Structure 1
Amino acid sequence: MPIRSLLTGLLWTACLACAAAAPRAEYKIVTATKTGTYIQIGQDLAKWVAGPADIGLEALDSKGSAENVQRLRYEPGVKLALVQSDVYQAFLDEAKAGNADAGDIIRPLRLIMPLYDEEIYFIVRADSPLNSIHDIKNKKIAVGPLGSGTALTSRTLYQLMFGEPLPPANTQYLSNEESLARLTVDKSIDVAIIVAGQPAKLFTDMKAEARNYIKILKLDEAAPETARAKKAYFPAVIRSASYSTWLKDDVPTLTVKAYLVTYDYGLQSTVGNLMRFADSLCANFDKLQANGHPKWKQVRLELPPLNQGWRYYPPMEKRLRACIAQRAPFGAPTAAQSSRTCTEQELVLGICKR
């Protein structure tokens, strides 16, 4: 056997051995609070999608969407994130307005696919005189932590409904659990706004006695504030069946869309892993709907047209579109920033530090 052929064969065998011994990719996905829906969605993706693709995926809790955008951009190992549509758009708007930090963060991010609508809960005390969502004007409101999608949603909704910003003096940035405690125990706030896909663990864990302490405000379709809110958000229903232990009747409300997001990766190994993830997502989608969180039943495996400035991640988009076609139809601050006062919007998005 010629020496060249022998060496080629040995090198080929060595390459196969190296490939076989290559360690499994270990990635992370940032979600939201431990009692929210996002973390369960992340765990479902780890079990039913990443696992079959031979990818380790750890679902990390977080403050929410605004923090997730930043962690996806900068935190090592974080390759995926769950992000609300209004938060993603807010970063794009800030970038378009000239905020360099927002541009650096959002421009390299790419969408994988839209997921489901998340319900917005407006919680008040059971004995509160408030009954409708548009009654919250000038009330003391807990809007979620800084860096959370809930905080951004709360501020955006208030601005849309009432044509003015949510007053800082009436705003408290608290976790969901802290919000409910302030609402019902020391009564230092009037309203707690919580964004979570139903059924959310925070509410499913409540006993029948909960109705003695809290209630959910209803969306009034006849109110002019509702018409203004519907420019960016959509009507939905919080079903009593989702919280049968304490919620007696369905409650009309508003929703915001959730998206699965990644980064515009170019490293060959990462691109290959994410392409396998996309193939597995399509191949195992029925298992997600059958075995995962009930919200998966509302997800459609499709890639609809996007708003201006929004882009899919091309390697995954190509694989998903090919797979979908084969399926049967179904359902750090800049110097300028450091010398001025941060706006409320920048504080919520975490792109301006005092």
Structure 2
Amino acid sequence: MKNLILSTLLMAGMLCHAPAAVAAVEYKIVTASARGTYIKIGQDLAQFVAPSADIKLDAQPSAGSAENVRRLRYEPGVKLALVQSDVYQSFLDIAAGGNAEARAMIRPLRVIMPLYNEEIYFIVRADSERNFIHEIKNARINAGESGSGTALTSATLYRLMFGEPMPDAKASFLSNEEALAKLVTDKTIDVVAVVAGQPAKLLVDMKPESRKLIKLLKFDPNHASSEAALKTYFAATVRASNYPNLLTADLPGLAVKAFLVTYDFQLKDTESHLRNLARSLCQNFQSLQEKGHPKWREVELALPDLGRGWFYYAPTAREIRACIAGETKPGTPVKSPAVKACPQQERILGLCK
């Protein structure tokens, strides 16, 4: 009996001194539509990158980049966001113009790394006389959901090309699905703007009969209105191989850059987890390109110079630069951490009172 009691006490003592299992910290990344590219990119990060950094990453849908900036700044648990370059730049420009709310939101945000170009699609009815993007002036345009990166991109591109805001009376801010339904049924919309990296699920899922109902507009880089657009956006090719039910040939188009963004976190635990995430991103980059969304194959593991007012998050930048320099070998274990008139652009970003 004495031996039994002694053995029990010894076992209890060993259990008390056994190291506790370290639970993965729970973080959120805000993306965009559940049918878009951003959410798949977020899910890829959650599957192939986050576990090695002891992070349980939840990829959450959202209205898009403008909402993501706000949620990253203010919503507890959101540590990462996918943001379009023109949305980020718009917040910076508005902040520089004296808008205190925009300044409060954008000033503490930091870039982890640039990702890829997202294609900008303008969709019209198949029988429309419009064939080029520069022909959308004064059309009834669904710019994308209010608060989304698509809406900001549509408004910015329109202003750049035509030197004036998109007419409020002719602009709508419905979801892609709602807008496409109106485009082909009651015809109260002439153009639907969509921003999504190809292959975009919304277009991939379309049936062959769709070709009789809708078409994509082409971008003419030689048109007079295109020069201003190309100062902010990039020429791109929409590949027919991605949308065989919709296209018979490649289409010249436009694109906007996507960025992986975080906050300038100073808490040591958060900083440590994000640093490990960056290290894991580097080490698992090949897996992302081989097993993740096809857009990962367009991403370069690099930290190019950013625009004025943009800054990298220093802890993750150090990890990525060390990895690029070969100081972190692939396969190295990642250690667990311990009231005036409100302009259209500002309305879309949700900065109006």
Query: Do both share a fold (TM > 0.5)?
Result: yes
Question: Which sections of structure 1, spanning at least 5 residues, go unmatched?
Answer: 1-12, 329-338
Letter in 1 for 2:267: L
Corresponding residue of 2:8: none
Tell me, yes or no, if the aligned pair for 2:123 and 2:215 is still in contact at 8 Å. Answer: yes
Match of 1:134 in 2: 134
- 215-224 vs 135-144, greater mean Cα deviation: 215-224
Match of 2:254 in 1: 254
Residue pair 2:211, 2:245 contacting (<8 A) in 1 also: no
1:208-237 deviations in Å (ceiling 9; x for gaps): 001010000001122101122111111101
Aligned to 1:81: 81
The answer to whether the 8 Å contact 2:146/2:348 transfers is yes
Contact 2:69–2:81 under 8 Å retained in 1: yes
1:194-343 pair list within 5 angstroms = 194-326=194-326, 339-343=339-343
Q: Could you tell which deviates more after superposition, 162-171 or 339-348?
A: 339-348
3-state SS in 1 of match to 2:49: helix
Is residue 2:110 matched to residue 1:110?
yes
Partner secondary structure for residue 199 of structure 2? coil
Whether the aligned pair in 1 keeps the contact of 2:156 and 2:345 (CA below 8 Å) is no
Measure the CA separation in 2 of the matches of 1:161 and 1:189: 20
Give the number of aligned pairs. Answer: 330
Identity rate of aligned residues, in percent?
60
TM-score (norm 2): 0.91
Q: Secondary structure at the match of 2:53?
A: coil
Give the distance between the partners of 2:103 and 2:27, measured in 1 at CA.
25
C-alpha displacement of 1:342: 2.4
Paired residues for 1:43-122 under 5 Å: 43-122=43-122
Matches within 5 A, 1:173-184: 173-184=173-184
In the TM superposition, structure 1's runs of 4+ consecutive aligned residues that sit over 4 Å from their partners are 13-18
Aligned partners of 1:134, 1:32: CA distance in 2, in Å? 27
**Judging changes above 3 Å, is the alpha-carbon distance between structure 1 residues 15 and 158 closer, same or farther for their aligned structure 2 residues?**
farther
Structure 2 residue runs without a partner (length 5+): 1-13, 329-338
**How far off is 1:22 after superposition?**
3.8
Q: Which amino acid aligns with 2:285?
A: F
Q: Deviations over 1:13-43 (max 9, x none)?
A: 999867x444310000000001100000000
Give the Å deviation of 1:268.
0.8
RMSD: 1.7
Q: CA deviation at 1:345?
A: 1.4
Tell me how far apart the structure 2 counterparts of residues 16 and 242 of structure 1 sit (CA, whole Å). Answer: 57
Q: How do 1:14-25 residues align onto structure 2 when only pairs under 5 Å count?
A: 20-25=20-25
